[in-house]
Structure formats: structure tokens, C-alpha cells
Structure 1
């Protein structure tokens, strides 16, 4: 049913595009007959406004943060593949440590999502705050299979949340690598997060058990975040 609806929407968009092209073409053909150049440009401006109204999508910027090797890029690749059937995700063995950032763009729930996958190495964490002002939401990824770095991950998370630029921005915590047998349980991660959660203030926050490698709960976590971002749009409007 969802696929059928998407197909119908796609057909409707195609009809709109053809109609807009026909109107623009007729304006160009009749331009010499228009009394003044100003009138032509007024009509062209009106046509542009109509086009933008029909096809414009609100844009939201989402940060993907976490320590190196937490699975941030794997999460992004899985999301892109699930939301764009024509996109072929990179094979896990081809994914390398992010230096700087990776960018991913997808359309989901009627809006344009721009993902910024930030490098998680210690020396790169100092650059995270450069992206906070434009962020509408945060995905923080924890490697639940590496208990030796859980405190390091929580410290980086807490430090980011202390930045006032992120005040009120919704956060989804991804408890990643739940497919690994020796991983921490969701309840264990929640227990480790309990002090940080108390400091989240009034912002929306949720935690999802995820296997980015297998795609489990990737879309569910994004769907929750998009709803929270839309609800928060009065505080931080879309671009």
C-alpha cells in the first residue's frame, strides 16, 4: 500500500512538472506580445513562487555523533539504502574511519534530511560544536559491544550536550551493535546513561536498540527523530 501511494505521488509530481513546463513555455512564446518587460518578469516571478510552493521541501540537518568505530557511517549507509532503493550501500569492509565528515541526503516523511556524520576520534571531537548551530536533531551512536569505551563515549556525549547551542534539540541515542552476542543490553546502557538523562532538560530524547550492520531499527530511530524535530520546529525552524 505504501509503495502504491508513493507511485501515485510520483505520477502526480510528474503531471505538475509537465504543467509547469507548459506554462513556462507559453509565457516565453507570448513574451513579445506582453505590453512591458516588467509585466513579463512579474508573471515569471509569480510562476517561480508557485513552483517553489509546490515542490519545496523543508530541510533539516541531523548530526550523527559518537566515538570512532561506533558504527556511525554504517548507520548512515543503512539509512540511505533503506530510504533510496536505487542507492547501493557501501560494503562494511569498505567503510573506513571518518576523517572530517560524511554527508548524506535523503527524503523522508515529506522533508529533506541532511545527515552530517562527524568523525569520532578524540582529536576531531573538538570540531563537533562547529555544526551545532545548524543542527535540528542529533543521533548519538554508542557501541554497545565495547564496554571498555562506554565511559569515554558517555563523557563525549555529556560534553556535547553541555553546549548551549544544542539546547532544546531532540536527541536519539542509538545503542548499536545489538547483533553481537557479548554486547551490553539496552537496560545496561540506560543505567549507564541515567545521570546524563537527568541533565537533558525539556528536550525530547529516546533510545533505540539497533544493528546498523543488519539495518534493524535504523528507520524506526530516524522516524522518531523526524517527528520530534517537526514538533520542535517553532523553536528551531527548518532551513
Structure 2
């Protein structure tokens, strides 16, 4: 009887789990964005931006949304750490690719990394959200420039869901639309990338 009740409890408390890979070059503001996502979804203040150090390995934030668990995995962006990214591809349901919109000198490098990601077989049919971060340091034309870059790479992004948004991880402006788009799109894409099961 206990086994039956225990099994029923696990069944009814099980959550669909979605994984978002937060990728991009070092210094793009991925960890600051992760802290702002946690604050936006929970109301609990995270680490102040001035105390955030470059990520070596992975930072994880878990967010409960509409009886689903969304895990954001922030992976280190230094060139020598990008090799570990592929070990997370098979369980990914979306890629949040963060670009430092205040550093135009590295835009081509960021686009090159984005194109490499889009050609990875294990990320086929995985939605991509390309984020022009640090818009608080730029005017709106920077977002248009990033959109132009991504549109130029449209052939490489094939028929998957792709969106370009702008935000400031420091101020929080534009963070809620990121969360909303990722959640809605992953659920809509569940027939191609089914959720994992979390107990």
C-alpha cells in the first residue's frame, strides 16, 4: 500500500522540466542576466552585479512556472571553456545566446560562435533567443544592428524558432519578455524536444 501511495505521490508531483542554455562570449553579461532572471521570477535579490565574477563551469537557476520547472544553465564563455558546452546540448530545450551590444569589436566573434552553435546536430530544432544585452549603454540602433546580423545568418538557423530581443541585465529592462518567450516557445516546441521529468 505504501509503495502504491508513494508512486501516486511521485506521479502527481512530477514536473515537466525544460533546460535553457545561457551561452555567449565571456563578458557578455550572462551571469548578471541569470541573477536578474532569478529576481524577476522570485522577487529575491541575488548577487549584486559588482560582486559577480567570470563563470568557470556552470551556474544554475531553477524557476517554477505554471507547474513546470525551467532550469537556466549559465556556462562560462571564455574560449577555452566553450568546449564543454556540447556536453549540455542533448538535454537543451532552448538556447539563450547573449551578446554584449556595447562591444562592437566582438560582434563578428559572437556571430561566429552563434553560427557554430546553430550547426550542432544536437541543437537541431532547438529554439534560439539572441539577446542584445547592455542596451542601457547604447541607443536603440544597436538592437537593430544585432537583428541585422542575425537576419544575415538566417539560412544557418534553418526553420527553428528564432527571436532577437534587447535588454539590460543591470536595470532589468526587457528581462520579462525573455522569460515569457522562452517559456512559451519551449512548451510549443515540446513535440520536437519533449521535456524531461523532474520529481
TM-score by structure 1 length? 0.78
Match for 1:198 among 145, 155, 158?
A: 155
After superposition, residues 112-123 of structure 1 pair within 5 angstroms as: 112-123=69-80
Task: State the 1:55 CA deviation.
Answer: 2.1
Secondary structure at the residue paired with 2:137?
Answer: coil
What per-residue deviation string (whole Å, max 9, x for no partner) do you get for residues 138-182 of structure 1?
100011110010001111111111111000001111110011136
Q: Which has the larger radius of gyration?
A: 1
After superposition, residues 54-133 of structure 1 pair within 5 angstroms as: 54-85=12-43, 87-133=44-90
What per-residue deviation string (whole Å, max 9, x for no partner) do you get for residues 110-157 of structure 1?
211111101101111122111101101110001111001000111111
Q: Give the conservation status (yes or no) of the 8 Å contact 2:94–2:186.
A: yes
Secondary structure at the residue paired with 1:58?
Answer: strand
Quick one: distance in 1 between partners of 2:13 and 2:26? 38
Where structure 1 has 5 or more consecutive residues not aligned to the other structure, the ranges are 1-42
Quick one: distance in 1 between partners of 2:23 and 2:49? 19
How many aligned positions are there?
196
Do structure 1's residue 150 and structure 2's residue 107 form an aligned pair?
yes
Quick one: distance in 1 between partners of 2:148 and 2:36? 28
CA RMSD in angstroms, aligned pairs only? 1.4
Quick one: distance in 2 between partners of 1:178 and 1:62? 22
Q: Give the conservation status (yes or no) of the 8 Å contact 1:145–1:184.
A: no
Quick one: distance in 1 between partners of 2:83 and 2:140? 28
Secondary structure at the residue paired with 1:179?
Answer: helix
TM-score by structure 2 length? 0.93
Structure having greater relative contact order (Cα 8 Å, sep ≥ 6)? 2
Indicate how the Cα distance of structure 1 residues 183 and 126 shifts in structure 2: closer, same or farther if over 3 A, else same.
farther
Structure number with the higher helix fraction is 1
